[in-house]
């Protein structure tokens, strides 16, 4: 059921990215890392569809959850105007989140751009004793949530495309170097498609299971309209699968990247 | 329901307890929305468009938002009619709502076969989709000329043991002509409109947004066109008309009744508001109570011009 929830905090993290803390007993209790919510932006300017946004972190005691949103177009622009005290129409939590295997001792999460958000709660919830995060940003001014991530993992590696902060280069290059030093039990990717495609290739090369969180334009958000599909393996054949319902998180060996 | 208000309608032999139906392709096979509200509330469910064999559908992206509307290019992804009969009918039959099966084919023989199979299945009506803009072969081409419509409808009619609804495309010059051809060939009712062909372009990348390049427009953007077409068709034929296109609330639905529709279907609006079908029924009831209308059928074609 879509419900109006109260925003208890709204703040900008940098010039175009903001965080909303929302009061919801239901979502904070039910949400698993990697799941998303589907948000109505309001009827302004003929914006009809909801926007899919990952749950970034939850506070199960306070009954709140955080979402972090980058302004991209009309809908996210409208959402950026919400303030503490406003009500927001949210459907969720939706979809399949990341798999947490308690026997895994060492995990690495790899995120790029807006793909880093769902990885924060994953780090919080995962019981592994050795957790590493590799996060990629365009440049120094895009780097956000650094402290939040540092708190939840043993080691945080940051890279920027232009080298203005952390290492220069791709997160997948850093990942390879790390895996050469020490293997991992599982890898989790969320970010641009080319990054995830490379990532799954690396996971296969090192023979490590991995999961990827897919992005696709969506309609209903619950599995009924078949607009949000990605290509997945189906035995010897393939099929189009709803990202909103069967994903957004898929096993890395299930998705067919083209 | 309010005491003396009668929401029942009869659409060419298909009895509905109320005139609000979930539109094909926007409601899957009902499973997802059954988590949000009681499907018993619906007059009917038009299930996702089926074909004889399973179809994979078109490459993504399959949806683009346009001002007050959306474009889709799903391309009839579906598990095929046999899987539907085996896996979905038992679920849908648990609810007291009419099952309308939306059926497509790429040849006349396929349409015949579909109707033959579905006539023996436990469903309440067959909605012949002669208007899907998103598949290359068949479908839309069957719905775009009166003589093709006459041919398909008269041939499937021989196999039809259930009320036959013919779904019309707006992508034609004269929709009333097409509706008349469907009526003459034996359609028990017509439903309209399917989506309007359109496209969306990303100027920055110089590429189309949809994987299929073109798609079908739906949502509030098409409501004025849909109302006009329902109005024209209902004057041209004597079989009942099911109206749809951009309905987002009960007032919109009443407008369609006044234009000549006996029932309405709602699709796109459910993406933003999963309760839209139930809320629409409630607003229709409230409108009737306020205006002392006892039977919803008294509204049909009640436009004052
Ligand atoms: C599972 C999932 C999780 C996401 N999590 C986050 C998150 O935590 N933070 C964040 O900032 N963004 C996230 N996104 C991306 C976010 O949904 C888009 O940036 C947003 O929908 C853009 O809307 P707009 O109105 O600003 O852009 P417009 O370009 O005006 O949007 C037009 C249409 O395209 C869709 N669209 C455009 N870009 C995307 C995209 N990249 N992915 C999906 N749909 C898109 C919109 O939803 C809308 O329907 C996520 C996307 C998915 C699929
Ligand atoms: C995602 C999507 C899928 C659709 N699939 C079908 C379909 O399989 N068969 C069909 O007859 N119409 C299909 N339609 C058309 C709708 O049933 C309806 O005719 C149209 O969307 C107009 O109504 P609306 O504005 O309320 O959505 C689809 C529409 C959408 C948005
Ligand atoms: S958005 Fe409708 S099926 Fe995924």
Per DSSP, which regions of B108-188 are E strands? 125-129, 164-167
pLDDT confidence band for B143 (50 / 70 / 90): confident
DSSP bridge pairs for B166: B128, B190
The CATH number that domain A214-258 falls under is: 2.10.240.10
Task: State yes or no: pLDDT of A1 exceeds 70.
Answer: no
Q: What is the pLDDT of residues B153-165, one digit of tens each?
A: 999 999 999 999 9
Bridge partners (DSSP) of residue A64 are A23, A59
CA distance A13 to A68: 9
CA distance B201 to B214: 10
- What is the distance between the alpha carbons of residues A190 and A223, in angstroms, rounded to a whole number? 21
Residue B104 has what pLDDT? 94
Q: What is the pLDDT of residue B27?
A: 98
ipTM: 0.94
Q: What is the pLDDT of residue B90?
A: 97
Indicate whether A19 pLDDT > 90. Answer: yes
Contacts of A240 in chain B (CB under 8 A): 56-57, 60, 77
The CATH code that applies to domain A3-94 is 2.40.30.10
pLDDT of residue B105 exceeding 60, the answer is yes
Question: By three-state DSSP, how is residue B256 classified?
Answer: helix
If one compares B143 and A180, the residue with the highest pLDDT of the two is A180
Report how far ligand 1's centroid is from the alpha carbon of B218 (Å): 20
Q: What is the pLDDT of residue A46?
A: 78
Q: What is the mean pLDDT of residues A50-58?
A: 98
pLDDT at A45: 73
The pLDDT tens digits of the residues spanning B167-206 come to: 999 999 999 999 999 999 999 999 999 999 999 999 999 9
Closest CA to B262 of B37, B40, B43, B34: B43
* CB-based contact, B220 to chain A, within 8 Å: yes
Per the DSSP assignment, residues forming a β-bridge with B15 are B10
d(CA A224, CA A101): 30
Nearest chain B residue to A46 by CA: give it: B68
- For the segment A51-69, the average pLDDT, to the nearest whole number, is 97
pLDDT of residue B7: 97
- Res A43 pLDDT > 80: no
Decide if A245 and B32 are in contact by the 8 Å CB cutoff.
Answer: yes
Is the Cβ–Cβ distance between B288 and B5 less than 8 Å? yes
Label the pairing between strands B9-11 and B164-167: unpaired
Domain ranges of chain A: 3-94, 98-213, 214-258
B132 catalytic per annotation: yes
Residue A2 has pLDDT above 80, yes or no: no
pLDDT in tens, B2-55: 568 999 999 999 999 999 999 999 999 999 999 999 999 999 999 999 999 999
pLDDT digits (tens, 9 = 90+) for B126-141: 999 997 666 655 555 7
Cα gap A124→A31, rounded to integer Å = 13
Disruptive mutation site among A72, A227, A247 for chain B (greatest number of B CBs within 10 Å): A227
Q: Which CATH number fits domain A98-213: 3.30.110.30, 3.40.50.80, 3.90.79.10, 3.30.9.90?
A: 3.40.50.80
Active-site option among B47, B123, B132, B200: B132
pLDDT score, position B137: 58
Domains and CATH numbers, chain B: 9-57+77-198+219-299 (3.20.20.70)
Q: What is the pLDDT of residues A143-169, one digit of tens each?
A: 999 999 999 999 999 999 999 999 998
Q: What is the pTM of this model?
A: 0.95
Give A101-132 pLDDT, tens digit per residue: 999 999 999 999 999 999 999 999 999 999 99
- The rounded Å distance from CA B195 to ligand 2 centre is 6
């Amino acid at each position: 059921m879509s419900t109006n929830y109260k925003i208890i905090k709204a703040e900008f993290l940098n010039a175009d990215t903001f965080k909303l803390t929302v009061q919801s007993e239901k979502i904070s209790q039910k949400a698993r890392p990697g799941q998303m919510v589907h948000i109505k932006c309001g009827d302004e300017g003929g914006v009809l569809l909801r926007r899919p946004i990952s749950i970034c972190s939850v506070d199960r005691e306070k009954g709140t959850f955080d979402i972090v949103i980058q302004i991209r177009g009309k809908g996210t622009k409208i959402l950026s105007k919400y303030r503490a005290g406003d009500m927001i129409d949210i459907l969720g939590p939706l979809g399949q989140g990341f798999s947490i295997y308690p026997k895994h001792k060492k995990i690495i999460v790899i995120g790029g751009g807006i793909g880093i958000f769902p990885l924060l709660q994953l780090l919080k919830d995962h019981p592994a004793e050795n957790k590493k995060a590799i996060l990629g940003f365009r440049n120094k001014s895009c780097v956000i949530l650094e402290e939040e991530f540092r708190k939840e993992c043993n080691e945080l590696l940051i890279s920027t495309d232009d080298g203005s902060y952390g290492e220069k280069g791709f997160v997948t290059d850093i990942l390879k170097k790390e895996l050469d030093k020490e293997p991992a039990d599982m890898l989790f990717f969320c970010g641009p498609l080319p990054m995830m495609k490379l990532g799954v290739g690396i996971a296969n090369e090192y023979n490590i299971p991995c999961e990827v969180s897919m992005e696709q334009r969506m309609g209903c958000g619950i599995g009924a309209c078949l607009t949000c599909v990605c290509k997945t393996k189906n035995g010897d054949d393939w099929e189009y699968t709803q990202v909103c319902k069967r994903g957004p998180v898929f096993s890395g060996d299930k998705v067919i990247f083209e | 329901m309010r005491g003396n208000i009668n929401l029942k309608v009869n659409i060419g032999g298909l009895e509905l307890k109320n005139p609000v139906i979930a539109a094909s392709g926007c409601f899957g096979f009902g499973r997802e929305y059954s988590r949000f509200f009681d499907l018993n509330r619906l007059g009917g469910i038009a299930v996702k468009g089926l074909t004889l064999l399973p179809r994979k559908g078109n490459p993504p992206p399959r949806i683009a938002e346009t001002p007050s509307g959306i474009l889709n290019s799903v391309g009839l992804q579906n598990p095929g009619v046999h899987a539907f009969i085996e896996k979905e009918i038992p679920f849908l039959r648990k609810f007291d709502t009419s099952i309308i099966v939306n059926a497509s084919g790429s040849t006349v023989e396929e349409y015949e076969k579909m109707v033959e199979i579905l006539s023996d299945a436990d469903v309440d009506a067959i909605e012949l989709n002669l208007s899907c803009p998103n598949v290359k072969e068949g479908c839309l081409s069957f719905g775009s000329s009166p003589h093709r419509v006459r041919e398909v409808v008269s041939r499937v009619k021989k196999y039809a043991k259930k009320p036959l609804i013919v779904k019309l495309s707006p992508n034609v010059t004269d929709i009333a002509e097409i509706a008349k051809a469907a009526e003459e060939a034996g359609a028990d009712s017509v439903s309209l409109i399917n989506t309007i062909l359109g496209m969306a372009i990303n100027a920055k990348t110089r590429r189309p947004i949809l994987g299929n390049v073109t798609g079908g427009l739906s949502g509030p953007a098409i409501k004025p066109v849909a109302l006009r077409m329902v109005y024209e068709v209902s004057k041209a034929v004597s079989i009942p008309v099911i109206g749809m296109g951009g309905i987002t609330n009960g007032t919109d639905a009443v407008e369609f009744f006044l234009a000549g529709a006996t029932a309405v279907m709602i699709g796109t609006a459910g993406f933003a508001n999963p309760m839209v079908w139930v809320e629409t029924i409630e607003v229709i009831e409230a409108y009737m109570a306020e205006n002392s209308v006892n039977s919803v059928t008294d509204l049909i074609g009640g436009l004052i011009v």
